[in-house]
Amino acid sequence: MNNPNLFDYLQECRWFGLKEDIRRGNISDIRLEKLSFDNGNKLFCLGEAMMASGEKRYFSMPLVLKGAMGGGQRLLVLDGGVYADASLEPDFWQSLNRMMRDNGGKVQFPNGWTFEYDGFGGIPLPEGNEAAESRPLNVEQSNTTINVGNGMLAFKLERMLEFAPEVNSEFEMNEKLMREKCSVMPRTYGGFIWRRPDGQQAAGGIVQEYVKNRGDMWNFLLDYLEKKLEKHYLHQMPLTAKNSPEFMELMHNLSSKTQEMSECLSRPDSNPNFTPEPADASFARSYGKQMEVLLYQVKRTIQQNMERLPEPALTQAEKLLKNWDETTSDFVGRRFDAIRQSGYQGSFITRVHGDFHLGQVMVTPEKDLRFIDFAGEPALPMEQRKQKHIDVRDIAGMYRSIKGYLGAVAVENFAAKAQDAEVAQRRKQWAQKAIKPLIDSASEVFLGDRKMSEPWLGLEILRKNLYEVNYEVGNRPEMAYVPISGLFELLPTQNTGAANDNVLAKFGKDGTGLQAG
């Protein structure tokens, strides 16, 4: 460990995605490539974490020189100087712009790597942005989003870097939706790119229109539901579509905007990465194999964690496991039968958002909606994020965000406001019943003309639900009742008499189709 202070500093940074690896001793060393800018007052650091496995992970870290320790900020002692996070400084955007301008839009680091800006579609940045002050928003993930000029721009600075031979998936998605003039996405001006001498590249940041907003839809709706529950609790009234028109209006809008996004991503394009392809027999067979693996993994996860499950998840899990192979194989097999009988007509694989849920939707002051973060599922490597998937994947993801989690978390928050456990339990039991009519109506409205009986939609909802079970049972058993209840509702709990031993029993041996079953 070459600099214990650096390790301690990174442990306190919310954006740093390798904190658990530091705690477990999985990082042997961290090296920094440093570039001085802003007349020596700031450092742009490119970090290289040497993993015990031999793998290398990278991150970007702008720093600003501080005169002394103190001031309440996280501080890093480096090369005899005391530094803090430069993105917190009001002049960060200004100094970054000067650095890029002074170097012709392309900055080269000592190791030969470059950091450069690439504009999208020739759209010029707003006039006067170079002199605008900036401040970070209060959300830190694997990136830091910065408000430039009090709403002039939004600059998302990527912290954890992932290199690949091709352009970043979020850049591609944003450019595609810009070409399609899709109203769901904020206007995108361009992006910063890290390039290595070996041709690998990574997204360094993206510059977009700043969407004035009332927060993301997840928190906006949670706040709405918690206030509604408090009001209705006094009169013991259920929440319904009729007495919650504002909520339902947002659901109608979300349904329409999601359909627009899906249609834009399904249009033929000059970029072959966005050309739709038929969901043919070969794709169905590959999908079936992946589903069989997932079903096995989830079954094992539940079996190995039964003692950690509280009620009612425990009882429901026991009933699901009793006939797991039969019920899951029947559910999946029947849908593949329907797909085969349709001659694989009407379904396509396309690029998708990939991580679509209520937290990815911004609510504007006018209660319009904008979608954000088109980078795909963060846990997947870049090449997998750029793969095409069945075109209803985003619909299924959002459906589970509404149907599975929104109401459940609103109820938990409502119950948590009670002063003692007995009152909390009464509030929870009432709220679970009271909120169900509204969540059921909202889920149906979101699906619009789509039906749960559609084979690919049913499979995708099952797939998303299974991933939720796998995560919650292994990591948050107290919340496992949410996805387990979803499975309990989705799957029959009695032996259906299905003859298949596994999903692939429904496939022809030559891989060209499905047996009638």
Confidence of residue 508 (pLDDT cuts 50, 70, 90): very low
pLDDT of residue 121: 77
What whole-number distance in Å separates Cα of residue 275 and Cα of residue 266?
Answer: 7
- Whether 507 shows a pLDDT value over 60: the answer reads no
Q: Is the Cβ–Cβ distance between 349 and 388 less than 8 Å?
A: yes
Q: Report pLDDT digits (tens) over 367-392.
A: 999 999 898 887 777 778 889 999 99
Name the percent of the chain in helix, strand, coil, to the closest 5: 45, 20, 35
Question: How many helices (H) and strands (E) in the chain?
Answer: 15, 18
Q: What is the mean pLDDT of residues 156-179?
A: 90
pLDDT of residue 192: 96
67-71, 395-399, 442-446: which has the minimum mean pLDDT?
67-71
pLDDT of residue 503: 53
> What are the b/e assignments for 171-195, b being 16+ CB within 10 Å?
bbbbbbbbbbebebbbebbbbbbbb
CA 276 to chain CA centroid, nearest Å: 23
Between the CA atoms of 17, 23, 28 and 33, what dihedral angle is there, to the nearest 10 degrees?
Answer: 40
User: Which is more confidently placed, 130 or 375?
Assistant: 130
Q: Domains for the chain: give ranges and CATH numbers.
A: 4-208 (no CATH), 217-502 (3.90.1200.10)
pLDDT of residue 310: 94
**pTM confidence score:** 0.87
- Whether 514 shows a pLDDT value over 80: the answer reads no
pLDDT of residue 133: 97
pLDDT of residue 52: 93
pLDDT of residue 377: 82
- Whether 347 shows a pLDDT value over 70: the answer reads yes
pLDDT of residue 512: 40
Confidence of residue 54 (pLDDT cuts 50, 70, 90): very high
pLDDT of residue 198: 95
Nearest in space to 425 (alpha carbons), one of 412, 410, 406: 412
pLDDT of residue 378: 73
Q: What is the mean pLDDT of residues 159-176?
A: 89
Q: What is the mean pLDDT of residues 233-258?
A: 97
Confidence of residue 69 (pLDDT cuts 50, 70, 90): low
Between the CA atoms of 191, 192, 193 and 194, what dihedral angle is there, to the nearest 10 degrees?
Answer: -160
User: Which is more confidently placed, 436 or 139?
Assistant: 436
Q: What is the mean pLDDT of residues 117-131?
A: 91
Nearest in space to 143 (alpha carbons), one of 195, 189, 205: 205
Q: Is the Cβ–Cβ distance between 78 and 36 less than 8 Å?
A: no
- The three-state secondary structure class of 466 is helix
Q: Is the Cβ–Cβ distance between 149 and 133 less than 8 Å?
A: yes
Amino acid at 337: D
What whole-number distance in Å separates Cα of residue 414 and Cα of residue 407?
Answer: 10
Residue with tokens 């202070």: 5
Token readout for 380 is 């997947």
Q: What is the mean pLDDT of residues 17-33?
A: 92
Nearest in space to 279 (alpha carbons), one of 442, 388, 396: 388
Q: What is the mean pLDDT of residues 160-189?
A: 91
- Whether 463 shows a pLDDT value over 90: the answer reads yes
Token readout for 473 is 């049972």
What whole-number distance in Å separates Cα of residue 486 and Cα of residue 457?
Answer: 15
- Whether 513 shows a pLDDT value over 70: the answer reads no
Amino acid at 225: L
Q: What is the mean pLDDT of residues 267-289?
A: 93
Nearest in space to 84 (alpha carbons), one of 141, 134, 42: 42
What whole-number distance in Å separates Cα of residue 364 and Cα of residue 382?
Answer: 30
Confidence of residue 98 (pLDDT cuts 50, 70, 90): very high
- Whether 504 shows a pLDDT value over 70: the answer reads no
Going 321 to 323 to 326 to 329, the CA torsion angle's sign is negative
- Whether 495 shows a pLDDT value over 90: the answer reads no
Q: Please state, for a pLDDT cut of 70, what percent of the chain lies above it.
A: 92
- Whether 511 shows a pLDDT value over 60: the answer reads no
pLDDT of residue 43: 96
Between the CA atoms of 329, 330, 334 and 340, what dihedral angle is there, to the nearest 10 degrees?
Answer: 30
Q: What is the DSSP letter of 125?
A: P
